[in-house]
Amino acid sequence: MTIIHFDQNGIARGVRFIHTPNCDSRPEGSPVELVVIHNISLPPREFGGNGVIELFTNHLDANAHPYYREICRIRVSAHFFIRRNGELIQFVPCTQRAWHAGVSCWQGRENCNDFSIGIELEGSDFEAFEAAQYKVLNTLLTAIGQTYPISGIVGHSDISPGRKTDPGPFFDWERINSNPP
């Protein structure tokens, strides 16, 4: 992947952008300071389909899979989604608040959506992530760190302990650039 640059609205140039209604304005005075890494696959533990895109754009067909009946009405999103093959998709401009963290707390601050960027990796808690995903993730983390005053990169499980487990035990923290410029 080439170098990523963000425009003034926080949209990565040259990256596929799919609009989601599942976002809103960040509270005034809430700069982006945190990156939260997640994993997701829809249906669970199946890769390559459009389930995540359909979930994030509120077009998930409840009849397409039994699990979808449980989740088709939730309204969630993330700023970015990195597929197993390294394809990067953006859903929410970095200047806006994506709905990815839910009930969360980081360094005594609640509502992490207010000041974070959410990155979803196509995967699960039960298998390793692909080299292509780490490569794109590191390129993205570098660009985010050059654009925003990031002071932490954490897993969803770190900000929602007991409630969330992602990115899971197979995520290799040693393979990421945890100190972006």
Reported as a single tens digit per residue, the pLDDT across 46-100 is 999 999 999 999 999 999 999 999 999 999 999 999 999 999 999 999 999 999 9
Query: What pLDDT shows up at residue 2?
Result: 79
Which residues make Cβ contacts (< 8 Å) with residue 11, sequence separation at least 6? 17, 90, 93, 94
Rounded-to-integer distance, Cα 121 and Cα 107, Å: 24
CA distance 59 to 179: 36
How far apart CA 23 and CA 169 sit, in angstroms, is 29
Strand partners, 25: 96
Instruction: Fill in the amino acid letter for 110.
Output: E
- The tokens for 122 are 């196509």
Task: Look at strands 88-90 and 80-82 and give their pairing.
Answer: antiparallel
The domains of the chain, with CATH numbers, are: 16-171 (3.40.80.10)
pLDDT tens digits for range 123-141 = 999 999 999 999 999 999 9
pLDDT tens per residue across span 14-43: 999 999 999 999 999 999 999 999 999 999
- State yes or no: pLDDT of 181 exceeds 50: no
**Which element (helix H / strand E) includes 4?**
none
Contact 88, 16 (CB under 8 A): yes
Q: Closest Cα to residue 79, out of 28, 22, 29? A: 22
Catalytic annotation present for 120: yes
Long-range contacts of 59-68 (CB under 8 A, 24+ apart): 67/42, 67/43, 68/42, 68/43
Q: Which of the following is catalytic: 33, 120, 122, 130?
A: 120
Q: Which two tokens stand for residue 155?
A: 């897993």
pTM (two decimals): 0.96
